[in-house]
């Protein structure tokens, strides 16, 4: 231990201390270099490993990507090819919608969307559908009737529409028969002469409508601007002239209702 603290030799002790310091410095530098070399080598290995993994991953992905086969269809890249298909489908849908819409408004005597029935000149139709079996006929005090012309004046060639409404004011449903010989529409001129009547040539059978409790049912008659005669006889010649006409509807058990309209001059 003494020789370590007090160097022995022919040279001064300060020289030996400097040699020792230089040696220790060299050793320290070598240690630092070794550590740095090891750390750099390890990092490079990791990067190489990651690079290898990435390469392997990409290789695996590439290896499982299917290539085109002879059975696959080749995309049609013609301009507008897809749009033409879509337009064709759209056109079919439009045609289909138009066809459906057109069929909804056809047919005589059928109910329209509002539930009104229409009778035409004597053409007629009825609203207020539903089972009428077991229902009593509507009576005065339980229901009331009203009659209006759809318009006050009709131009030449226009057919007047007359709307009969039966309103059930009670809490019990009832039925009303609007067949021509039960709900009798009569059109008079201002001289009180009968021009046309639904009773003159009424169809056989009945046309019963259900009137729900506290609800209304509407029946529309369209007059063809013609004349009629009793028992379906041939009426007098000549179309009704321009002027004012009175209309009355009479229903057994419910009474009568009146309205009027004008046929305009040419």
> Are 35 and 135 in a shared domain?
no
> Are 28 and 158 in a shared domain?
no
Residue 108's CB is within 10 A of a number of other CB atoms, namely: 11
> Are 132 and 254 in a shared domain?
yes
Amino acid 227: pLDDT: 96
What span, in angstroms and rounded, lies between the C-alpha atoms of 15 and 104?
121
Number of domains in the chain: 2
What span, in angstroms and rounded, lies between the C-alpha atoms of 141 and 170?
8
Q: Is residue 163 part of a domain?
A: yes
> Are 130 and 248 in a shared domain?
yes
Query: Is 129:236 a contact under the CB 8 Å cutoff?
Result: no
Q: Could you tell me the residue range of the domain that residue 11 belongs to?
A: 2-50
Q: What is the mean pLDDT of residues 58-72?
A: 45
> Are 134 and 237 in a shared domain?
yes
Global pTM? 0.54
Q: Is residue 250 part of a domain?
A: yes
Residue 201's CB is within 10 A of a number of other CB atoms, namely: 17
> Are 31 and 134 in a shared domain?
no
3-class secondary-structure state, position 253:
coil
Amino acid 22: pLDDT: 87
Q: Is residue 75 part of a domain?
A: no
> Are 130 and 247 in a shared domain?
yes
Average pLDDT over the chain, rounded to whole? 76
Q: Is residue 182 part of a domain?
A: yes
Q: Which of 10-14, 89-93, 146-150 has the highest mean pLDDT?
A: 146-150
pLDDT band at 44 (very low <50, low <70, confident <90, very high): low
- The CATH code of the domain that includes 223 is 2.60.40.2360
């Amino acid at each position: 231990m003494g020789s370590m603290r007090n160097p022995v030799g022919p040279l001064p002790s300060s020289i030996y201390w400097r040699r020792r310091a230089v040696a220790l410095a060299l050793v320290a530098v070598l240690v630092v270099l070794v550590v740095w070399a090891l750390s750099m080598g390890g990092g490079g290995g990791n990067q190489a490993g990651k690079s290898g993994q990435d390469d392997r991953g990409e290789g695996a992905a590439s290896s499982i990507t299917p290539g085109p086969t002879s059975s696959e269809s080749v995309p049609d890249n013609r301009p507008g090819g897809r749009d033409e298909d879509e337009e064709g489908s759209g056109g079919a849908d439009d045609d289909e919608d138009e066809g459906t819409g057109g069929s909804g408004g056809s047919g005589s005597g059928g109910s329209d969307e509002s539930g009104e029935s229409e009778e035409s000149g004597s053409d007629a139709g009825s609203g207020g559908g539903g089972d009428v079996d077991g229902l009593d006929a509507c009576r005065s005090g339980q229901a009331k009737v009203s009659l209006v012309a759809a318009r006050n004046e009709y131009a030449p060639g226009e057919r007047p529409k007359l709307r009969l409404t039966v309103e059930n004011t009670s809490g019990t449903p009832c039925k009303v028969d609007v067949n021509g010989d039960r709900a009798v529409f009569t059109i008079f001129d201002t001289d009180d002469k009968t021009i046309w009547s639904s009773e003159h040539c009424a169809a056989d059978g009945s046309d019963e409508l259900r009137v729900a409790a506290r609800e209304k049912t509407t029946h529309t008659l369209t007059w063809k601007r013609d004349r009629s005669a009793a028992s379906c006889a041939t009426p007098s010649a000549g179309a009704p002239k321009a002027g004012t006409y009175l209309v009355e509807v009479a229903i057994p058990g419910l009474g009568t209702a009146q309205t009027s309209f004008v046929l305009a001059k040419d």
